[in-house]
């Protein structure tokens, strides 16, 4: 595959990505709304192995292979943090592709994974989307992720106890914000790590960001469409998301904030 503008790479060793697709759900009974997306992965990768991991499978993997993390895993306040953590442990153990169930595969990812190494993608707003990931087993980027899982930042710890900010706590401890921090440091390492890492341009995996999820998919090159189900959010958080993802309301809030700043500057 030709590396597109906006894509970044580092490292010298790009080990093969095993042909296995991983997904996870609470049990082996995937909700009807996601079964078409699940089928899109097996249809596009008919010559790949497919495995659906349950919550019990995930915990057993941690207990068997990463017992040093089990107490932290069990102590997470939200199930989504266990799911986020599990995807990194799955790829570290087995390698392959991991995809959230709300991701729709538009065409085989072989053209992306044939280069080897770990593969992630940015969204339009620069966030590393943790919904689709790929790597060989034992890639060093996961070791760096594990370090962050064990030692969350002070801001992440504080947000856990501030009402209304628990969703941000999730993103900073196990989700996209944590992964963005790890990938950014990985790319800037001097000397760079040997294990190869590719950060794809937004148009390949999931170009729509969290805030523009209501916009139509329009990328012809997209391999994956992320539909952002946000099933992990609690009801109050979903109301906030529903408000923030409406463009007119976002514009109105920005104008209101700008007006407040202008008035504050003019106040005698």
- DSSP character string of 183-232: HHHHHH-SSPPSB-EEEE-TTTS--S-GGGTTSPP--TT-SEEE----TT
* Whether residue 73 is found in the same domain as residue 157: yes
- DSSP character string of 69-111: GHHHHHH-SSHHHHHHHHHHHHHHHH-EEEE-TTEEE-S-SHH
* Whether residue 73 is found in the same domain as residue 154: yes
Q: What is the pLDDT of residues 46-61, one digit of tens each?
A: 999 999 999 999 999 9
What does the alpha-carbon distance between residue 46 and residue 173 come to, in Å, rounded to a whole number?
35
Q: What is the pLDDT of residues 58-117, one digit of tens each?
A: 999 999 999 999 999 999 988 989 999 999 999 999 999 999 999 999 999 999 999 899
29-43 average pLDDT score: 96
Is residue 121 classed as helix, strand or coil in its secondary structure?
strand
* Whether residue 216 is found in the same domain as residue 238: no
Q: Domain range spanning residue 257?
A: 233-268
Nearest 5 degrees, angle CA 83-CA 97-CA 51?
70
Q: Has residue 1 been placed in a domain? A: no
What does the alpha-carbon distance between residue 17 and residue 94 come to, in Å, rounded to a whole number?
9
203-225 average pLDDT score: 70
Q: Mean of the per-residue pLDDT values for the chain?
A: 82
Q: What is the pLDDT of residues 242-251, one digit of tens each?
A: 544 445 544 5
Residue 119, strand partner residues: 134, 198
Number of domains in the chain: 2
What does the alpha-carbon distance between residue 91 and residue 136 come to, in Å, rounded to a whole number?
7
* Whether residue 54 is found in the same domain as residue 127: yes
What does the alpha-carbon distance between residue 11 and residue 116 come to, in Å, rounded to a whole number?
11
Instruction: Give whole-number Cα distances, 229 to 48, 131, 224, in Å.
Output: 26, 11, 15
Nearest 5 degrees, angle CA 161-CA 165-CA 166?
70
CATH number at 64 reads: 3.90.550
Q: Has residue 3 been placed in a domain? A: no
The position carrying tokens 């106890």 is 161
Q: Has residue 162 been placed in a domain? A: yes
* Whether residue 105 is found in the same domain as residue 55: yes
Q: Has residue 219 been placed in a domain? A: yes
The predicted structure's pLDDT at residue 253: 46
* Whether residue 250 is found in the same domain as residue 210: no
The predicted structure's pLDDT at residue 206: 62
The predicted structure's pLDDT at residue 96: 98
- Would you call the peptide bond into 192 cis, given omega within 30 degrees of 0 as the criterion? no
The predicted structure's pLDDT at residue 128: 87
* Whether residue 114 is found in the same domain as residue 91: yes
* Whether residue 176 is found in the same domain as residue 251: no
* Whether residue 186 is found in the same domain as residue 255: no
What does the alpha-carbon distance between residue 167 and residue 177 come to, in Å, rounded to a whole number?
11
Which comes out higher in pLDDT, residue 212 or 238? 212
Q: Has residue 208 been placed in a domain? A: yes
Q: Has residue 268 been placed in a domain? A: yes
Q: Has residue 125 been placed in a domain? A: yes
Cβ–Cβ contacts within 10 Å for residue 185, how many?
11
pLDDT for residue 173 is more than 60: yes
Supply the pTM of this predicted model: 0.81
The position carrying tokens 């049990």 is 27
What does the alpha-carbon distance between residue 111 and residue 1 come to, in Å, rounded to a whole number?
6
* Whether residue 133 is found in the same domain as residue 249: no
Q: Is 213 buried (19+), middle (13-18) or exposed (0-12) by CB count in 10 A?
A: middle
* Whether residue 80 is found in the same domain as residue 187: yes
Residue 24, strand partner residues: 53
The position carrying tokens 């993997």 is 61
* Whether residue 171 is found in the same domain as residue 252: no
């Amino acid at each position: 595959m030709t590396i597109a503008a906006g894509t970044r790479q580092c490292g010298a060793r790009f080990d093969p990505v095993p042909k296995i697709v991983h997904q996870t759900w609470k049990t082996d009974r995937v909700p009807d709304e996601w079964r078409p997306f699940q089928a899109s992965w097996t249809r596009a990768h008919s010559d790949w192995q497919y495995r659906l991991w349950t919550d019990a499978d995930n915990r057993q993997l941690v207990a068997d292979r990463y017992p040093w993390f089990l107490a932290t895993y069990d102590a997470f306040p939200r199930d989504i943090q266990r799911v986020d953590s599990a995807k990194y442990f799955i790829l570290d153990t087995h390698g392959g592709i991991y995809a959230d169930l709300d991701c729709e595969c538009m065409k085989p990812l072989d053209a992306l994974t044939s280069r080897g190494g770990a593969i992630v993608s940015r969204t339009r707003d620069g966030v590393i989307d943790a919904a689709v990931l790929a790597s060989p087993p034992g890639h060093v980027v996961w070791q760096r992720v594990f370090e962050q899982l064990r030692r969350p930042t002070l801001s992440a710890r504080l947000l856990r106890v501030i009402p209304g900010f628990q969703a941000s706590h999730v993103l900073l401890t196990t989700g996209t914000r944590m992964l963005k921090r790890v990938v950014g440091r990985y790319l800037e390492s001097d000397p760079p790590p040997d294990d190869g890492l590719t950060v794809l341009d937004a148009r390949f995996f999931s170009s729509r960001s969290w805030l523009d999820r209501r916009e139509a998919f329009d990328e012809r090159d997209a391999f994956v469409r992320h539909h952002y189900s946000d099933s992990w959010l609690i009801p109050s958080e979903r109301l906030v998301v529903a408000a923030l993802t409406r463009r007119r309301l976002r514009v109105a809030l920005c104008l209101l904030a700008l007006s407040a700043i202008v008035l504050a500057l003019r106040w005698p």
